[in-house]
Structure 1
Amino acid sequence: MEDLKTEKLFNIKYLIEKFDKPIFEKNIKLLKENNIQPQLICILTSKDAGSVSYAKGIKGICKKYGINFILDKAFNKELLEEKIKYYNNDKSTHGIIVMYPTPFDIKDTYFMNLVSIEKDVEGLNHEYMGYLVQHEFYSDNENLRKLIIPPTAKGILYVLKRNYILYENYFKDNGKYPSNLKENPFKLEGKKIVVINDSLAVGRSLALMMLNENASVRVCQKYTDYDDIMKFVSISDIIISAVPSEKFKIPTKYIPENSIVFDIAFEGNFEYPDVFDKVYRISPKWNLVEKGNRINDMTLHKLISNLFYLVNRRLGDNALIELKKFERNIFVGR
């Protein structure tokens, strides 16, 4: 790893320990009391190294939290369709994740919509996308059964919102923000945000989520002129890039001072280590950060939180009310 300015890194490991771990443990306790064993199915559709690595990470986090994990494979569209339908009807299966993009001659959205909304752990079914557009959070009138949001986009928003809570708590205790900042840097309302990716799982979902937080969002994709992308970057408070190409780089000269950056691309979309001199906080390229403190560690935890949302639909209202009170105490506590 390069010699990076560690004080500029998001402390994702801390967020997981403070917020996610106790809530996961509470979920597991409730499920055991109700004799429910969570099970997640992961279907590989190719031998793509990124997909294989992601599946390995999912297997690891499932083992950590006592979740049954089954890795299956479907290297043609007919078999994938068959397996999705099988697991949709399998009572022991609570969640299904398909490794996209598929290499088949049919749009991935066909398979996304084929996965039952009762088992769609990624939230890519058109029903969940519709709820995201409408800014809905729950599937029931009692606001106990949560809807599913794509885990990568959810993880990024989660990092920002949890840091916002931590900075507000600091302000309450000290009468000022850390580093003597005039305002909370993680407040999203009114902020200028550029998202360089338009996939359903990342860019489009994240843009909708940021709009729902009253931010001003620009979405760039492969048809956006490079010079225009740099203009948007240069005026943005928050920059999120997930371009799967070694050729795409954002020169550090375009990065605004004290901006917030998320580099989601496996290849890395920023200039290292120079970018550290410009940012306030950054989640950099995955191999520049210790395992456990990477943005994909947060993605994995949001995937598992989605699985718990799906499993919890089988619990009674009293158990879910208990869980909701527990979560509220975690989020408002110090």
Structure 2
Amino acid sequence: MKDLIQEKLFDIQYLIEKFDRPLFEKNIELFKKNNIKPSLVCILTSNDPGSISYAKGIKGICKSYDIEFILDKVDTKKELEEKIQFYNNNEKIYGIIVMYPTPYDKDTYFMNLVTPEKDVEGLNHEYMGYLVQHEFYSDNENLRKLIIPPTAKGILYVLKRNYVVYEKYYHIHGKYPDGLEENPFKLEGKKVVVINDSLAVGRSLALMMLNENASVRVCQKYTDFNDILRFVSFSDIIVSAVPSNKFTIPTKNIPKNSIVFDISFEGNFEYPDIFEKIYKISPKWNMVEKGNRINDMTLHRLVSNLFYLINRKLPNEDLIKLKEFEKSIYD
């Protein structure tokens, strides 16, 4: 069973080393050239273990890429408002992330309070509007990229980068891996079910999938469980992020050779039975070694978002070189 599990896991670490690390290093080189020191502030709003763990992960990846990391904590709504405004106006801070959910009113209020110039999560309504419109850049030269939520973006990147890897394999060998007749990571026309409707995950990912011409069904707490199972049963790609240990999708409802992402901390699938049904999976976090988890891809998307924001301050000639370098990585 151990060998089977390893065979079915995404190689997220390879994707990060192949596509992210060289591009990040190129970004850092340009920042140094322009006397820019990347910085990111993380605002904790509660003692939620998930938020604390996420903040710890952000601190770690910032250290890896020589990004100044500032951890702040608030205890009241007024204090959170004041902190966001303070960092919005602080020229030494390039990115702001607030740990949601907050214990204060509607979280969207704070999402829109963070200025788009420093919103590394892409949750400000301005970015969400661009996502609905399927826009990629903030400038007419197509050099300065827009921001999209990192968790949903991480899932999309695992799929799209694997598509590139499989196409290169086909170009070299004249066939796809595992004897497949077509690239399993082609999103156009695929049936996708997303069991989560949060802005950071479900809604954003659904829009991203629609923008890739996939057919998407979004389920949430008001969706009948039998309907969820029915949607799952005919889906090519299944993404579940239900924060409950009482929610489990039976393996018998999982289509053979489907692609699965389990984003829930508790785990939303039957382990290890599910490994015998799926083609590839990003499973519950504790079934994967650190460095190869979907959370590792999420953290790298957060850093890429920070770099997108900083890049807006770079001259066009530097960004043209960066775009050419990025293209060479994928070619």
Say yes or no: does 1:12 pair with 2:21. Answer: no
SS of structure 2 residue aligned to 1:113 = helix
Report Cα offsets for 1:103-131 as digits up to 9, x if no partner: 11x10000000000000000000000000
TM-aligned CA deviation for residue 79 of structure 1: 0.3
Tell me which residue corresponds to 1:227: 226
Q: CA deviation at 1:3?
A: 7.5
SS of 2:279's equivalent in the other structure is: strand
Q: 1:328 maps to which residue? A: 327
Query: Partner letter of residue 14 of structure 1?
Result: Y
Matches of 1:220 and 1:74 in 2, distance apart? 33
Q: What letter is aligned with 1:240?
A: V
Q: Distance in 2 between matches of 1:3 and 1:198?
A: 34
Distance in 2, matches of 1:204 and 1:5, equals 30
Name stretches of at least 5 consecutive residues in structure 2 with no aligned partner: none
Q: Distance in 2 between matches of 1:331 and 1:139?
A: 22
Q: CA deviation at 1:2?
A: 7.3
- Matched with 1:212 is 211
1:63-98: CA deviation from partner (whole Å, max 9, x where unpaired): 000000000011211100000000000000000000
Deviations 1:144-174 (A, max 9, x none): 0000000000000000000000000111111
Q: Give me the whole-angstrom Cα distance separating, in 2, the residues matched to 1:313 and 1:239.
A: 35
The one-letter code sitting in structure 1 at the alignment partner of 2:95 is: G
**Corresponding residue of 1:39:** 39
Cα gap change, 1:108 to 1:4, in 2 (>3 Å):
farther
Q: CA deviation at 1:331?
A: 1.1
CA drift of 1:321 comes to 0.3
Separation of aligned partners in 2, 1:62 and 1:33: 19
Q: Distance in 2 between matches of 1:75 and 1:45?
A: 7
Q: Give the Cα–Cα distance (whole angstroms) in 2 for the partners of residues 103 and 40 of structure 1.
A: 23
Q: Which residue of 1 aligns with 2:24?
A: 24
1:168 equivalent in structure 2: 167
- The number of aligned residues is 331
Paired residues for 1:213-292 under 5 Å: 213-292=212-291
RMSD between aligned residues: 1.0
Q: Counterpart in 1 of 2:64? A: 64
Q: Which amino acid aligns with 1:74?
A: V
CA distance in 2, matches of 1:277, 1:308: 39
Tell me the residue number matched to 1:100.
100
Equivalent in the alignment of 2:194: 195
Letter of the 1:55 counterpart? A
CA contact (8 A) 1:9 1:281 kept: yes
Q: Distance in 2 between matches of 1:137 and 1:98?
A: 24
Contact conserved, 1:263 with 1:270, CA < 8 A, in 2?
Answer: yes
Distance in 2, matches of 1:247 and 1:231, equals 19
1:31-180 matches, cutoff 5 A: 31-104=31-104, 106-180=105-179
C-alpha spacing 1:286/1:4, structure 2 compared with 1 (3 Å): farther
Please state whether the residue corresponding to 1:217 is helix, strand or coil.
strand
Q: 8 Å contact 1:132–1:208 — kept in the other structure?
A: yes
1:268-294 residue CA offsets vs partner (Å, 9 max, x unmatched) = 000000000000000000010000000
Q: Is the 8 A contact 1:122 1:150 kept in 2?
A: yes
TM-score with structure 2 length normalisation? 0.99
1:185 alignment partner in structure 2? 184
Shift of 1:209: 0.2
In structure 2, how many angstroms separate the alpha carbons of the residues matched to 1:299 and 1:3?
A: 26
